[in-house]
């Protein structure tokens, strides 16, 4: 309707352009974002949220640059434009209100999404009440909403505030009626009426947020909520920047002097918001703490962990001093020099821990190198502060903080590495204690066995408690012992409960279904294998002793001569393109915006060594949507698909000014000017000779530009100072071999865009493949000053650095990358590469141990082969009692496991004791025997693997000596057509034959459902007939074999025939194919016959009482 009204008014008033643009239903993909650089809030939007239809009329092509500034005065108002707008709106309203069809019938029903929050702000005074109930009058309450329907809530929308504020009354109550179902975090503050300082703030401690959550869940239209404030003093923290990723920290933790969470504390930080397409961040926070208390602050970055430590640590001489004294809060203030303070505190904390590692012979080369470099930068920063060289002070402080923040995870990882190694050996200690008791004592009584195992466990524990540094690095080492005792007891209890439960379920199943199954339990077989293995080792004491000594010495040798070294490596991925300049390009892997502090860090680092030049883009924040920016020159207009913000220094790096067809390049201090691509200039009818082509000789001269060549953009006038060759600019490629124009995200697949957004929301560090992107054509991009783009809500796309001639480019880049976890493109000596730093780990020394390991392997092989040939008779006995070949092989593998565990644990204990003695005697100067790190674990695993692999061949030979059992295939006669008849390799006595047939009949009946297993049956019958040798029995059924989609079915007849004088019966099986292919029928029956054979073995395990019941049941059936 309003489109029609607008067309009529345009015609009546004789306007040359449309007077009304539809911002609700975009035409040709041009929505509201094409007419203003930032979102806007209107009264109509609030009315619409109540479910009431509403329209808003908004001035377009105006960036409202004077809003929220001192220049926003009546004198700045364009009265002629206002008069024109009033005239148009008057006509629009007149036409609309006089139109009887203004509101046509519609099935669309708008929902009322507006909700009301009734809040109450109180304090807690334990002297007056057990619960917080003291109302706070005059407090400022603000429900902070981070996002609505996925859109980030802005602080301001072109002058309209994005947050709602309310004052509490005498009862401490307030009301906010503009809430939505998305919820909010409720904050409230009471200000000192004189100073304006915050004196009451939200309590996030035990009596505040933990009991009365600040996060409001708007579950109903009217929601009541209460939060607790506490008396506080505010401490400001600036520079909350991740020193590695150069992004804003989004979380802080508060601790007191004792390193515990205070009873009452609070903080406010601009963090936790969903990711958005912006470079603007506020890396500041405020900590609220009780007066006359000490605080420590830890800055975190989501899953990346702790990044900044503010501990106020004076030195690294003791644990207490290294962990910091905290900052005394007596009056409002700030933590000064945040990068220097964070670097100093982290260095002191890491130095103490590293010295602690050194005392126990624990080494980490990469950690020591990083710590050394950070310390050097901190000393430089201290000297710069003394000399009042503030720029270098900031530069070196940031460098020290970045390097030490990279070292901090290594310190923590090294400590965790030691503890993990200790846990690994404790896991081996349980079987070690059991095997040692069996070998040394071999008690028959269960109680003595338990006491023996527990005694050996405690003995080894106390040895490790004395020699292993892991117990010194933990605050409560006894917890480790208690944990393993609890683990051992829980395993025993769980095994008992599980076995009892399975026994009862099996019994219930047998009683109800009359179906019996049995198998050799894995746990039972394993236990028996270890028991027999240990018994065999006890019979051959000398061989066991010598083999164990060999493995102990092998473990000690491997531990002594192998090590894991960590180091920092610079990863260079060569690129085929020739570098445009000698320098570096910093950008995000996916071209996501860099945050503003990133440019500050890069500029501070390289401003003295080269030219630092940022680039900015202005494109739609809705990735995947084409950007349309209307640019107008008098009567002509066109659309630009993006803005490219460049600095005057760009011409010194990429020499982009060489592509100018007319005019000149940008100058320092210029903002309201632009350079047109030649194709856009043609659309606007701007000719090259109309541009002032006189290039000034110095910056004090100003190029003359014809007034008619002003370009209108978002309500601003930009002087056209030049026209650039689009084709020439297209050929220009940066160090990443891509154009410098904005990326055309609208050409990307929606799946790729969503993946990129999810990575950024989750703060996943960009370590994936560097992909190439499609950029906008140069002819569709307007070139403007960098500052202009940033002031119009643009984003930093990349930062380029061109180093001065004679500069050691490689060293500068490696120094920079060593403290950052970012990827950059480098142009060094005519070659381009992608630069990054990686923490690498190498395992050294194993090559020198090839001969000792080979000798030990041959010794174990010889020992186990001898054991196999000595026990040939035993193997035959095991086979005769039904032990499978795999179980017989497992006997020897179990024996080798005993050797492996004994050698590994005893060798490790020997190494720890020797190391302890060497350290005590000061004999480890310049030598590191790192038995406490991951290298010890890997060395032990190598020894265990050598022992087990050396036993594979002897175990295989032992299994080949065994008689094949039920798991072995036997040769079947070929089927004759659709019939397959053969004798089963099984006999049964006359007294059991009827019970067996009844047992098989019940078994087949139990498979009457298709979902039960590998086959299902129908109408299983038991019958008798007279054979020449006497009375015989048979079981007959029709069955279908799985997989059932093959359609294989058959008639089965299992006959038991008397053998005559021996009173035994043979088993004959007859199969008749009813359906399905012959090959499938033959193949599926092999698996089915294995199942039937196992049922005959199961029958042997059934008790005589149950067999008698089956026989009686069969007599009744017959």
> Residue 968's pLDDT is what?
47
Distance CA 202, CA 139 (A): 11
**Count of structural domains, the chain:** 5
> Residue 40's pLDDT is what?
83
- Whether 944 and 1026 share a structural domain: no
628 belongs to a structural domain: yes
- Whether 1006 and 1080 share a structural domain: yes
The answer to whether 451 touches 502, Cβ cutoff 8 Å, is: no
Report whether pLDDT(93) > 70: yes
Report whether pLDDT(589) > 60: yes
Q: What is the pLDDT of residues 321-346, one digit of tens each?
A: 999 999 999 999 999 899 999 999 99
Q: Which of 380, 381, 370, 372 is nearest to 405 (CA)?
A: 370
Neighbours of 281 (CB within 10 A): 19
Q: What is the pLDDT of residues 490-504, one digit of tens each?
A: 887 887 888 778 777
This prediction's pTM: 0.77
Q: Which of 617, 618, 599, 616 is nearest to 63 (CA)?
A: 618
Burial 352-377 (b: 16+ CB within 10 A, else e): bbbebbeebbbbbbbbbbbbebbbeb
Choose one of 337, 352, 367: the last residue of a domain.
Answer: 352
What backbone phi and psi angles, to 5 degrees, belong to 179? -90, 160
The answer to whether 646 touches 656, Cβ cutoff 8 Å, is: yes
The percent of residues in the chain predicted with pLDDT above 90, rounded, is 31
Q: What is the pLDDT of residues 1-42, one digit of tens each?
A: 788 888 888 888 888 777 888 877 777 777 777 777 788 888
> Residue 202's pLDDT is what?
96
Q: Which of 256, 269, 129 is nearest to 205 (CA)?
A: 256
Q: What is the pLDDT of residues 938-994, one digit of tens each?
A: 878 888 888 888 888 888 888 877 654 444 455 778 888 899 998 887 888 888 999
Strand 233-238, strand 333-334: pairing: parallel
Q: What is the mean pLDDT of residues 1005-1019?
A: 77
310 belongs to a structural domain: yes
Q: What is the mean pLDDT of residues 387-415?
A: 88
> Residue 852's pLDDT is what?
75
Domain hosting residue 1086, numbered range: 979-1117
- Whether 956 and 990 share a structural domain: no
Distance CA 403, CA 568 (A): 11
Report whether pLDDT(931) > 70: no
Phi-psi region of 403 (alpha: psi -120 to 50; beta: other; left: phi over 0): alpha
Q: Which of 920, 933, 1103, 1083 is nearest to 1014 (CA)?
A: 1083
Using the Cα atoms of residue 842, residue 847, residue 852 and residue 854 in order, give the sign of their dihedral.
Answer: positive
| CA 575 to chain CA centroid, nearest Å | 29
> Residue 209's pLDDT is what?
93
Angle at 167 between CA 165 and CA 172, to 5 degrees: 130
- Whether 633 and 667 share a structural domain: yes
- 288 vs 672, which has greater pLDDT? 288
The answer to whether 879 touches 888, Cβ cutoff 8 Å, is: yes
Beta bridge partners of 32: none
> Residue 492's pLDDT is what?
76
- Whether 728 and 763 share a structural domain: yes
Reading the block at residue 407, the tokens are 């070292």
446 belongs to a structural domain: no
CATH number for 986: 3.30.310
Reading the block at residue 59, the tokens are 């001035």
State the pLDDT confidence band at 768, using cuts at 50, 70 and 90. Answer: low
- 303 vs 906, which has greater pLDDT? 906
- Whether 1011 and 1085 share a structural domain: yes
Q: What is the mean pLDDT of residues 551-571?
A: 75
- Whether 30 and 175 share a structural domain: no
- Whether 1065 and 983 share a structural domain: yes
Report whether pLDDT(696) > 60: no
SS3 category, 1022: strand
Choose one of 303, 334, 352: the last residue of a domain.
Answer: 352
Report whether pLDDT(707) > 50: no
Strand 222-231, strand 115-123: pairing: parallel
Report whether pLDDT(188) > 90: yes
Highest mean pLDDT among 712-716, 923-927, 1075-1079: 1075-1079
State the pLDDT confidence band at 702, using cuts at 50, 70 and 90. Answer: very low
- Whether 119 and 93 share a structural domain: no
Q: What is the mean pLDDT of residues 242-265?
A: 90
Report whether pLDDT(134) > 60: yes
> What is the chain's mean pLDDT, rounded?
84
Distance CA 682, CA 680 (A): 5
- Whether 337 and 286 share a structural domain: yes
Q: What is the pLDDT of residues 810-848, one digit of tens each?
A: 899 988 888 888 878 999 988 999 887 765 555 555 666
Choose one of 767, 802, 837: the last residue of a domain.
Answer: 802
Residues 6+ away with beta carbon under 8 Å from 89: 57
Reading the block at residue 787, the tokens are 């500052």
Q: What is the mean pLDDT of residues 661-671?
A: 89
Using the Cα atoms of residue 685, residue 689, residue 694 and residue 695 in order, give the sign of their dihedral.
Answer: positive
688 belongs to a structural domain: yes
State the pLDDT confidence band at 888, using cuts at 50, 70 and 90. Answer: confident
Distance CA 1101, CA 1095 (A): 10
Residues 6+ away with beta carbon under 8 Å from 679: 726, 779, 780
889 belongs to a structural domain: yes
Reading the block at residue 175, the tokens are 């009301």
- Whether 240 and 309 share a structural domain: yes
- Whether 763 and 647 share a structural domain: yes
The answer to whether 20 touches 8, Cβ cutoff 8 Å, is: no
Helix (H) or strand (E) holding 987: strand 979-989
Farthest CA pair distance, the chain: 129
Reading the block at residue 689, the tokens are 């000779």
State the pLDDT confidence band at 389, using cuts at 50, 70 and 90. Answer: very high
> Residue 526's pLDDT is what?
66
> Residue 880's pLDDT is what?
62
> Residue 839's pLDDT is what?
58
Highest mean pLDDT among 304-308, 841-845, 918-922: 304-308
> Residue 747's pLDDT is what?
84
393 belongs to a structural domain: no
Cis (ω within 30 of 0) for the bond into 848? Answer: no
The answer to whether 410 touches 317, Cβ cutoff 8 Å, is: no
Q: What is the pLDDT of residues 336-383, one digit of tens each?
A: 899 999 999 999 999 998 888 877 767 777 888 888 999 999 999 999
The answer to whether 180 touches 218, Cβ cutoff 8 Å, is: yes
């Amino acid at each position: 309707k309003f489109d029609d009204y607008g067309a009529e008014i345009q015609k009546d008033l004789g306007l040359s352009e449309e007077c009304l643009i539809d911002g609700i239903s975009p035409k040709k993909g041009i929505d509201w974002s094409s007419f203003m650089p930032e979102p806007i809030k209107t009264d109509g939007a609030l009315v619409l949220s109540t479910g009431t239809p509403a329209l808003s009329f908004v001035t377009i092509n105006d960036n409202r640059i004077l809003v929220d500034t001192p220049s926003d005065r009546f004198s700045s108002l364009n009265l002629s434009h206002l008069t024109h707008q009033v005239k148009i709106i008057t006509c629009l309203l007149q036409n609309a209100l006089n139109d009887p069809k203004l509101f046509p019938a519609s099935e669309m029903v708008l929902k009322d999404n507006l909700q009301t929050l009734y809040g109450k702000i109180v304090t807690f005074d334990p002297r007056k009440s057990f619960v917080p109930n003291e109302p706070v009058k005059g407090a400022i309450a603000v429900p902070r909403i981070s996002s609505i329907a996925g859109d980030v809530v802005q602080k301001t929308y072109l002058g309209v505030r994005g947050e709602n504020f309310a004052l509490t009354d005498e009862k401490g109550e307030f009301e906010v009626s503009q809430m939505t179902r998305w919820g909010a975090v409720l904050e409230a503050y009471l200000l000192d009426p004189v100073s304006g300082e915050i004196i009451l703030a939200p309590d996030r401690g035990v009596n505040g947020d933990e009991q009365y959550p600040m996060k409001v869940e708007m579950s109903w239209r009217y929601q009541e909520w209460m939060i607790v404030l506490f008396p506080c003093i505010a401490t400001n923290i600036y520079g909350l920047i991740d020193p590695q990723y150069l992004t804003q920290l989004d979380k802080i933790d508060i601790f007191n002097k004792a390193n515990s969470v205070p009873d009452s504390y609070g903080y406010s930080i601009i963090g936790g918001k969903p990711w958005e397409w912006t470079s603007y961040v506020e890396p500041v926070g405020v900590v609220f703490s009780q007066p006359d208390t000490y605080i420590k602050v830890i800055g975190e970055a989501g899953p990346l962990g702790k990044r900044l430590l503010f501990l106020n640590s004076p030195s690294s001489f003791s644990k207490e001093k290294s962990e910091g004294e905290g900052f005394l809060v007596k009056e409002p203030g700030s933590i000064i020099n945040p990068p220097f303070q964070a670097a100093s505190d982290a260095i002191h904390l890491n130095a103490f821990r590293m010295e602690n590692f050194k005392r126990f012979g624990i080494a980490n080369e990469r950690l020591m190198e990083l710590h050394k470099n950070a310390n050097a930068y901190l000393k430089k920063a201290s000297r710069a502060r003394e000399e009042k060289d503030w720029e270098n002070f900031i530069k070196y402080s940031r460098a020290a903080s970045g390097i030490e923040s990279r070292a901090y995870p290594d310190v923590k990882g090294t400590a965790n590495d030691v503890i993990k190694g200790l846990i690994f050996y404790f896991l081996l200690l349980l079987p070690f204690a059991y095997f040692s008791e069996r070998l040394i004592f071999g008690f028959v009584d269960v109680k003595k066995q338990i006491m023996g195992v527990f005694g050996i466990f405690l003995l080894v524990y106390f040895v490790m408690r004395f020699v292993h540094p892991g117990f010194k690095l933990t605050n409560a080492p006894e917890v480790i012992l208690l944990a393993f005792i609890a683990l051992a007891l829980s395993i025993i209890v769980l095994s008992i409960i599980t076995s009892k439960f399975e026994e009862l379920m099996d019994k219930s199943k047998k009683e109800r279904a009359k179906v019996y199954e049995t198998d050799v339990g894995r746990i039972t077989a394993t236990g028996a294998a270890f028991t027999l293995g240990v018994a065999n080792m006890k019979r051959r004491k000398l061989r066991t002793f010598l083999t164990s000594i060999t493995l102990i010495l092998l473990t000690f040798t491997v531990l002594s001569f192998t090590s894991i070294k960590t180091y920092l490596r610079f990863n260079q991925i060569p690129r085929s393109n020739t570098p445009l300049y000698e320098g570096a390009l910093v950008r995000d892997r996916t071209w996501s915006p860099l945050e503003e502090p990133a440019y500050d860090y890069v500029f501070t680092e390289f401003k003295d060594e080269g030219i630092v030049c940022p680039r900015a883009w202005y494109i739609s924040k809705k990735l995947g949507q084409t950007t349309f920016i209307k640019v107008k020159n008098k009567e002509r207009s066109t659309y630009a698909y993006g803005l490219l913000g460049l600095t005057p220094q760009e011409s010194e790096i990429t020499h982009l000014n060489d592509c100018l067809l007319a005019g000149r390049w940008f100058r320092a201090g210029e903002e309201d000017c632009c350079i047109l691509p030649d194709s856009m200039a043609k659309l606007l009818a701007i000719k090259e000779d109309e541009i002032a082509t006189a290039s000034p000789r110095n910056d004090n001269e100003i190029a003359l530009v014809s007034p008619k060549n002003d370009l209108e953009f978002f309500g601003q006038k930009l002087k056209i100072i030049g026209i650039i060759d689009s084709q020439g600019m297209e050929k220009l490629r940066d160090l990443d071999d891509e154009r410098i124009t904005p990326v055309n995200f609208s050409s990307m697949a929606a799946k790729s865009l969503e993946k990129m957004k999810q990575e950024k929301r989750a703060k996943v560090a960009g370590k994936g493949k560097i992909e190439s992107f499609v950029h906008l054509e140069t002819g569709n991009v307007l070139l403007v000053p960098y500052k202009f783009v940033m002031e119009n809500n643009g984003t930093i796309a990349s930062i380029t650095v061109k180093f001065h001639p004679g500069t050691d480019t490689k060293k500068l880049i490696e120094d920079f990358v060593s403290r950052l976890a970012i990827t950059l493109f480098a142009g060094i000596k005519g070659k381009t590469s992608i630069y990054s730093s990686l923490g690498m780990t190498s395992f050294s020394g194993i090559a020198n141990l090839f001969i000792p390991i080979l000798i030990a392997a041959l010794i174990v092989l010889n020992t186990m082969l001898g054991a196999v040939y000595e026990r040939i008779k035993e193997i035959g006995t095991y086979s005769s009692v039904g032990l499978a070949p795999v179980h017989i092989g497992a006997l020897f593998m179990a024996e080798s496991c005993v050797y492996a565990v004994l050698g590994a644990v005893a060798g490790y204990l020997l190494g720890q004791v020797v190391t302890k003695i060497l350290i005590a005697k000061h004999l480890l100067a310049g030598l590191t025997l790192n038995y406490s790190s991951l290298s010890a674990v890997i060395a032990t695993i190598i020894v265990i693997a050598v022992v087990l692999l050396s036993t594979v061949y002897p175990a295989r030979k032992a299994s080949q000596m065994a008689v094949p059992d039920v798991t072995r295939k036997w040769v079947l006669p070929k089927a004759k057509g659709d019939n397959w008849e053969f004798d089963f390799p099984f006999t049964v006595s006359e007294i059991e034959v009827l019970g067996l047939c009844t047992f098989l009949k019940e078994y087949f009946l139990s498979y009457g459902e298709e979902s039960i297993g590998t086959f299902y049956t129908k109408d299983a019958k038991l019958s008798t007939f007279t054979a020449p040798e006497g009375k015989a029995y048979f079981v007959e059924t029709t069955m279908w074999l799985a997989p059932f989609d093959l359609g294989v079915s058959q008639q089965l007849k299992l006959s038991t025939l008397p053998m005559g004088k021996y009173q035994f019966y043979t088993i004959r099986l007859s199969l008749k194919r009813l359906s399905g292919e012959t090959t499938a029928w033959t193949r599926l029956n092999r698996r089915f016959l294995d199942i039937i054979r196992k049922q005959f073995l199961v029958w042997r395990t059934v008790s005589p009482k149950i067999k008698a019941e089956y026989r009686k049941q069969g007599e009744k059936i017959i």
